Structure 1
Amino acid sequence: MQEQEEELGDELDGEEIFEELTDYDYDDAYGLDSIDDLLKLDFLSIGEVEVDKFHFGTLPIAFEFYNRFVKESRKREPKTETRTGCGAQFQVKFVGVTGRWHVTRFSNVHNHELLEGRLSRLLPGHRSMSKAEIALMNNMRKSEISTSQVYALLASQSGGFDKLNYGVRDMSNQIAKVRREIPENVGDYEIPLFRSKWQTLVEEFGVEKKEWLNEIYEKCRSWTTCYIREKFFAEFRITSRCEGLHSLIGKYTKPHYNLSEFIEHFQRMLGHMRFREFYAEYESARGVPVMQTCIELLEMCATDTYTREVFFLFRHILVQSGAMRVVDYQTRDNSITYYVCRYAKPTNVWEVKWVDNGNVVTCSSMRMESFDILCETHYLCISS
């Protein structure tokens, strides 16, 4: 231990660190105090020089910035530089007396090579899809038709590919835009919110007196996420459990098999499942994942506790805990209740309760009980 302390002392000289801090120019620094500030940044254009100019209001903000910066710089290539500071301008002004647009300024001096006329339709400002084409594309996508096939159909209707002023990439961007409009975790509601949403939906379509719908609602404890989230079922949920097993069994058994043939192929299926578990155990024991969070000890402990697949799920939750904050807490005889919310959504508050007797931690969201692992609110309270 003394040798390690001496080595650390040689590496970290307090005077050198203080000199580096005193040389830091705080006038050029840019403050990041909230998640909203991070959303305004273009991480693809940020380099090491720009990173040195940031200072963070809290540790979770710095942690979230680090994860976003590493993710963007690792998975994406820098965009092609298209901005050259060209001074060419074309300004128009509407004159109410004449009822026409008049050119007020025109400058045709460019500092770059001009694009060929035949390629001008591919410029971002010229690429667009009509509402009818977007509707047709969405309907065909619902039928599991690939984007390239939809693009070929639209080109055929337009008279050829040269008649389209957009490409497959623009269609993919339009599909991503539609997906972003869908709320995340649309079925992951709290019980009171689910009841309110259900009542609003029933009243909107006027089906309050439908018996079949009332029977479905009476069985909501069997199919609604907010009711079954606290039950552990290894990520399987009601029908998905049956469908998943049926799909697996269907690969090995057929309806015309007799009893002996069924048992033979069923044993093959069990052998395949055992091999998958064996291979998962091998993947978990082979090597050590690269630690990517600031809580390295907790992350390292998770690598020894969980399988590799569950560990990746755990690490994502651990990263998400950086976007949570404790609003308030109450201390009782043998328990502590924390009130936790997200930085961007202060109105959604969850209760995390820690009981000393048995060292039990529970959360009102009950999001991860079905996986039998803790959610981001738990890790925030544990670290605090």
Structure 2
Amino acid sequence: MNFIAKLFAVIQGLIVVLVTFSATPTYAHGEKAQQPALRMRTVHWFDVDLSTRKLDVNQILVVKGTFVPSLSWPEHVASIEDTAYLNVGVPGPSFVRLDSRVNGVPTIRSSSYKRGEQYNFEITLKARTPGRYHLHPIINVLDAGPMIGPGIWVEVGGDPAAFDNSIKTLFGQTLDLETHGFANAASWSAVWVVLGLVWFGYWLTKVPLILPRFRRASALGENADDMITTRDRQAALVILVATLMLIAGGFFYATERWPVTTPLQTGKIKTPPLKMAPSPVLVTMDDARYRIPGRSFRIELTVTNSGKSPVSVGEFASGGLRFINSAVLKVTPKDQDDLVATDALRVEGGSINPGETKKIVVYADDAMWETQRMTTMISSPDAVVAGMLFFFDAQGRRYPVEISGPMIPLFGG
């Protein structure tokens, strides 16, 4: 048994060494590790962009875009219609957020968003630390976690020592938020550590020491209270009085020193959805199949056009992936990691004329389904998929429509 245990330990050590020396740098957030059901059926993001891809410390970066909470939101996932919070995902304290708004409403606090409605967001950031970052908009949903939007690379240059994070208070006082309050927090921490060490040190002077007293207190039939002496109770009373005096003294000092304060904003705000004109395009998803060998997603649709101009499918977006019909729409990827297949959408059936109801078939074929780990959707318990179809008319007007329904995986042919 000793030989087997030693052999197992050697194998574990070799695995650790191999993993350590063969590891490669990770540059993105790993959002593709999120389950396809969450990526496809929670929040649809589109038109996400940055005001610039390159800036220096102290310069401003604005993140803009649109999101639509899915009508096909999974039943087992806490709803975005309860409590949600708009944020950004970026490695470390790389930026300082100055402002964030959804449909023009400040979102310093949590809000809620209706499924199927459209929301425009804008987040203003200030560059803090030089580096190259993969930045995502994120909506954190209470009890569900982050719903991650598309990532865009941004490069920050300049001198980190030059970063300025100062504000002016209502009373005209200028504060450096990087250091403000640090000395006060450090002082109080030191006070409580010293008080704790005094209390712990007192018990170290007792005989027997901690472990023998613990064993006696744990033993059956022993009266552990007999170990507590009058002196012990007096010491405990001194520590208790000192603790209460420090708490009360700190409270009165803070009230006198800062008579006007603003509590942390923990309430919720109401964010109304955009007032949109009724879409002339009505879509029903009749059938959806994913052919695993060819990495091909096939969707049969019934489309009704009640507008005054023919409409055509120009884009299908799902799970952060974008598939473009190059005959209708020309898209240039933002960078080499932009999840856009610029000529991967094929439509059988052509455009839909005004007043026409027509069946069309849409093919979204690209290796991104596999490389971005979307193929695991075939193992979903309910096998429901969702995404956004973007129709365009002759004047270039865009009509986004969400589609959703069950999907059938095909393992051959």
TM-score normalised over the length of structure 1: 0.24
Higher RCO, Cα 8 Å, sep 6+: 2
* Structure richer in helix, relative to its length: 1
TM-score normalised over the length of structure 2: 0.23
* Structure richer in strand, relative to its length: 2
